[in-house]
Structure 1
């Protein structure tokens, strides 16, 4: 699996528990392999398109159209349309911290979620910064990013009982946090191992939260 091809629908996930609705939620997680290898070239990139929090929250306004939002933030990582006639765009930017071989490195994952009402006007948006940590390695060596997702801990998730805070206690801060087209909170954790820009194996967990309580979740193993 190449990191630039990591997109999916929950309909096709190999899950431990998956009571999520059938709508498509595509992940733009092409950032993992880039953790130790690339850096953002900022010369021609605006702060808004780097999803700088202050800039983004200062320029986004309720009532803006998708075209206006995309003019500010660029092309979304994925978009979604719900049965409620609402739509949304999700923007994701990855900024690696490059360090010497053998030292801890971190990938800053910035995400912005924007939901539009039935008339196509922005009505809700959020900004989140997550991190995937790993060790810097020489080119060609195996890298690891994020925290391994323990199946023992995953089995402790009880829909309708486990709270959002309890999920974070189990797995640490999420890599990505936002909401879906229906307004439910989405938490996503990613762990991956790879070589250069290819993912060799890994795991992903997505938890959907309603009023601070886990509604449902999905887990899958990442394979080439």
Structure 2
């Protein structure tokens, strides 16, 4: 029910934000911003300031069920939230006002992320699809080809060229991560297969000494795997 700010060097909790009445489901922040956002099973989203008080700076109530998706615009002025109630909301972070709402039948949102430098939001769903929303009118701009399993998580590369989604699965069936072309064909580029249970998250790794770009996935099979983005090979 709390949000902890930790030192990445020591792992020690530096401070803790309190305000939610049930478990926290998602936490996100915008680069170069001191604002942190949290979603909860209490059906609300809260905004906190890293250097402010321990209480919430802003509250965003409105969803009818647990909030499962959370994405903030690069300038932290807008917030997009999604829920198991089949809705996606857009909020003004300064006023707390809801400035957009969209509902799609069976669209149980599992994750949201904002495309860097663009007005688009990527969303995964229990209906096995990945959607790209235009945040300006809060309308679906593109729906990727449906997968065979629930899509559990998504991420977008820093250059905005590619996106990732991960799948549920069991006994080696499903549980793959999928790389999609976000700018040109908007088709499937590659799959990363190797987990034996649901893949719970997928992320693009920041650039480093590796000669090729990498991605990482985590799974209910108790493993984390690092992959070569371009070949699908495991590191």
- Calculate the TM-score normalised by the size of structure 2: 0.30
Determine which structure has the larger strand proportion and give its number. 2
**TM-score, normalised via structure 1 length:** 0.31
